[in-house]
Structure 1
Amino acid sequence: MDSAANNSDKPLDDSEFLEMTQQDAAQAKILRQSLEHLASGLGGAALKEMAQEVLSGRMGLREAADVSAYAEEAVQQSAPLAEKWASMSDREREELAAEGEHRLEERRRQVEEERRAESENRSDTKSRHDGRGWSLY
């Protein structure tokens, strides 16, 4: 990023999140929500700052991952989760993974419903130049 982009708050779209999730809109939304949780202070001061930088558009997520203070905090905050995962049985891991897949599929359905509703709203809005209701006579 150039320094001008780093110093200004630009509207953040989900293009970077979509790229990181291989164009999966549901996973991109989950990623954004995770950053919003971190921006509220959920993961400590360093991750709060990182999330705020990313959500404001001042820094890309990949760029933020390269900042050692942010990376170290992320590793430290995730250590208890890694320990819990290691202590789980294979069955518990499979159940947790299935629950995650179920939640992801539910999110995908929500995203699809939102898209459908947006599309219907756009098609219901009559354009000034759509030609309907016009007649020579």
Structure 2
Amino acid sequence: MPHPMDKPVDDSEFLEMTGQDPAQARILRQSLEHLASGLGGSTLKEMAQEVLSGRMGLREAADVSAYADQAVEQSAPVAEKWAALSDAEREELAADGERRLADEQRQADSSSAMRTTQQAERPSTGTSRHDGSGWSLY
């Protein structure tokens, strides 16, 4: 059940965390959504849900020792697997990551261009949608 103070977090927090990179912000959001589904266990699920709901900022969540401890514990096997990979396997995974990031960047650029085009194509009537004309209390 949603908390009464919930407001879904917008991408501005993720943009701040990713140096204003919309592609990385989108990947960060997707990662949190995966964690919120329970992918990383109940503690990280709770943390991701708190961040995505807007109840807690990502930096604030990182300062909660229970969340930080669980993140470190969950990442240890990944670090071990990475260390066990050959240089060629690491390069292949890095290339896959670069391709994914490039795909996300193209999507972000496309979405931005689409919004700009839609705004430019919108006819201007010279009055605001909220100028009060067109309705009456009487």
Q: For residue 134 of structure 1, what is the aligned residue in structure 2?
A: none
CA shift, 1:86, in A, is: 0.5
Amino acid at match of 1:48: K
Q: Structure 1 residue 127: deviation in Å?
A: 2.4
Residue-pair matches, total: 125
* Residue 127 of structure 1: aligned partner: 124
Q: Aligned AA for 2:48?
A: A
Poorly superposed stretches of 4+, deviation over 4 Å: none
Which residue is equivalent to 1:88? 85
- Alpha-carbon displacement from aligned partner over 1:48-71 (angstroms, at most 9, x marks no partner): 100010011110001101111111
* TM-score normalised by structure 1 residue count: 0.85
Instruction: In structure 1, list runs of 5 or more residues that go unmatched.
Output: 1-6, 131-137
Q: Which runs of 5+ in 2 are unaligned?
A: 128-138
Give distance in 2, aligned partners of 1:127 and 1:11: 31
Name the % identity. 68
Q: Could you say which residue in structure 1 is the equivalent of 2:57? A: 60
Of 74-83 and 43-52, the range deviating more from structure 2: 74-83
Q: Normalized against structure 2, the TM-score is what? A: 0.85
Determine the structure 2 residue equivalent to 1:112: 109
